[in-house]
A = this chain, B = another copy of it.
Amino acid sequence: MKKKVLKFGGTSVGTIERIQHVSNIIKGEVEAGNQIIVVVSAMAGKTNELIKFSQDIDKNFDKRELDVLLSTGEQVTCSLLAGALIGLKIKSKSWLNWQIPILTEGEHSNARIINMNVSKINEYIKEGVAIVPGFQGVSKKGEITTIGRGGSDATAVAIAKLFNADSCEIYTDVDGVFSTDPNKIPVAKKIEKISYDEMLELSSLGAKVMQSSAVQTAMMYDIPLEVKSTFTNRKGTKIFDQQNIDYTKSVTGVAYSKDDAKITLIGVEDKPGVAANIFEPLNKSQINVDMVIQNISSDQKKTDITFTIKRDDLVKTKDILKNNKSIKFREITHNDKVSKISIVGAGMVSTPGVTYKMFRGLADEKINILAISTSEIKLSVIINEENTLKAVKKLHTIFELD
């Protein structure tokens, strides 16, 4: 008998039929003798609908009331799923954030789960399935809060940790984590096992299977995860600590992000504090800076700084840089049609020649590399956007992922 946390995302519970389908998955787990805590998201589209309501009322809708509003989405799913299980003669009950309670701290719309009362639910799951709303909790003052980044995934991981669960299964609308985007590159393969670090690199690169902060929490407390599809019976992707994985391949996956723009400041003074002066005002304007590369400039005692941002932020970013008197540079250039291609793999560090192999592969396809950035388990290059798919396919092939 295992204690399992099962999390079902918005598309998995997006219709009545899907909620009934999910109730049958849970029934199977109960009949296999497992103790089950289920975490659910709001039905797909519901949260956006509620946000639109609030925006139509007030562009700066009060954050406390927004949390009260949004928390109803998961509450609806909880009750419908519990009712569906009861209809299948499986004892079940919805547990609302204040009934458990799920204690949070921090600001409205961006709170963190800090504790949970486990005794009542631990008693209950001996005979029934507990259904818990994701994405929310209650503050020490008794106010409803929602947890920002991580959402229901974060709730599932927190429950797995606090209840000391044997596994945490993230049911979603894809079969698992893929070696690259299966919608664009048909030879993409599902990854059976992946480390937390690799998952983090892949998910931050656009493979949005799980929220990054939830993966980070799982990594921190060493909680094994499994991402799998609600709609097929196929095995999913297991995510756990690097040391539990035998690496037969140096590269686990190829990720890419589009809609990027690259800015280069040429001839920046090479002295302490310059980078801070550049990026502080961008951060204040909520411009998300991705890759940053600094090189020696052809000018003496000067340096060139290149960074990437989302294309939508290009005009704003250039305005800020030009109008900021504390930043001195000779010239500013940009390229607004670039993409970032990354190879990710925990095995890279121990495999010589990965870097060379990547550059050679791109050269064979006559793809020019505009910038390079490396970390222990990731190697990213910026290229012209038109070459994105060609580059991904080539790298996927040469690193034997097809």
Which A residues are within 8 Å of any B CB, using their own CB? 16, 19-20, 50, 53-54, 56-58, 60-62, 64-66, 68-69, 71-72, 75-76, 78-80, 82-84, 86-87, 93-94, 96, 98-99, 142, 144
Contacts and interface: CB of A to CB of B under 8 A. Distances in A.
A294 B223 CA distance: 75
22 contacts: A16-B53, A16-B56, A16-B57, A20-B57, A54-B79, A54-B83, A57-B83, A57-B84, A58-B83, A58-B84, A62-B82, A65-B86, A66-B79, A66-B83, A68-B82, A68-B96, A69-B76, A69-B79, A69-B83, A72-B76, A96-B144, A99-B142
A57 B87 contact: yes
Contacts of A98: 98
Contacts of A54: 79-80, 83
Nearest to A57: B84
A50 to B, nearest CB: 7
A18 to B, nearest CB: 11
Contacts of A60: 87
B83 A78 contact: no
Contact of A87 (B61, B64, B80): B61
A68 B78 contact: yes
B58 A86 contact: yes
A83 B96 contact: no
Contacts of A69: 75-76, 79-80, 83
Given A16-B56, A19-B57, A96-B68, A62 B83 contact: yes
A65 B82 contact: yes
A82 B57 CA distance: 10
Contacts of A144: 96
